Amino acid sequence: METPPTKRLRSAFKPTTQLHYSHVLDVLKQDNCFKNLVFSPICLKLGLAIIYLGAEGETAKQIERFFGENVTKDDIHAFLFDGLASLSKIHKDIDLKLANQLFISKNYQILDSFTEKLKKFEQNFIEKVDDHEFSEKIDDFLQEFFEGGNSGSFTNENDIDDETKLIFLNSIFFKANWFQIFVAAATEDSDFHVTESKTITVKMMKAEDDFYYRQGN
C-alpha cells in the first residue's frame, strides 16, 4: 500500500538535505557572498513549490529533481500545503515567519490557471506593481515583514532594470530568546574566522557551562 504523500516526502527529503545545503553554499561562494546571513532549506523548498505551481517543461523537471528522486507533482503540492500549515503551530515563544511573494509588473500577463492555484492558500502571494515601483514595493513589504527592524533599502538598483517583469521574494524572520540567556556584561571582542584566510574582530557572547554539541564536516 502506498504511504501518504507527507510520509513519502519526509523519506525522500532526508538523504538530500545535505545536498540542498551544499548547493546553496556553492551558489553563495560563486557570488563571493561572505556577508552574515541565514538561509533555510525549508523556506527555499516552499518558495520553489510555489513557483512549481506555474512551471512546465524543463523548469518543472529541474524543480522536481531538487525535491528528490521519485517525488511526484502531488507530493510537492502536499508539501506546500503541509509546510504552510505547520508555520501556525510554531511554539508561542518563537517568532518564525517565512515570506514568499511574487512582485509582477502590471504590464506582464500570467496564466489564470496559476493564480487560481494560488487562491487555494490563505496567503496572498501576488502583488502587481508598476515597472518603476519594484524597489519601493519590495522595501515596503520587507519593512513590514521585519517589523521595522531594518533601515535603508533591501534592493540593489543593479538588480532591477526596464526589462524586469517579475521578482520572486523569499525571506525568513526568526526571533526568540536563548534557552540559556547570555549575560550582556560578559560580551567581549574576539576573532571570528570568515574564511580560512580571513579573520575579523566581532562582539562575541560568552558563557561557561557544559554543552552538548555536534561536530560535522
Mean pLDDT per block of 10 residues along the chain (217 residues) reads 48 52 69 67 81 88 80 79 68 77 88 82 80 87 76 73 86 83 91 88 89 78
Confidence (pLDDT) at 190: 94
Q: Does residue 134 lie in a domain region?
A: yes
Q: Does residue 84 lie in a domain region?
A: no
Backbone angles phi, psi at 149, to 5 degrees: -80, -10
Bridge partners (DSSP) listed for residue 168: 102
The H or E element containing residue 30 is: helix 17-30
Q: Does residue 167 lie in a domain region?
A: yes
Alpha-carbon distance of 20 to 29, in angstroms, equals: 14
What is the chain's alpha carbon radius of gyration, rounded to the nearest angstrom? 20
Write down the pTM of the prediction: 0.67
Q: Cell triple for residue 184?
A: 550582556
Place of cell 574582530: 201
Q: Does residue 205 lie in a domain region?
A: no
Q: Does residue 8 lie in a domain region?
A: no
Cα dihedral 7/71/46/179 (nearest 10)? 40
| 3-state SS string for 153-177 | CCCCHHHCCCCCCEEEEEEEEEECC
Q: Does residue 73 lie in a domain region?
A: no
**CATH (domain of 123):** 3.30.497.10
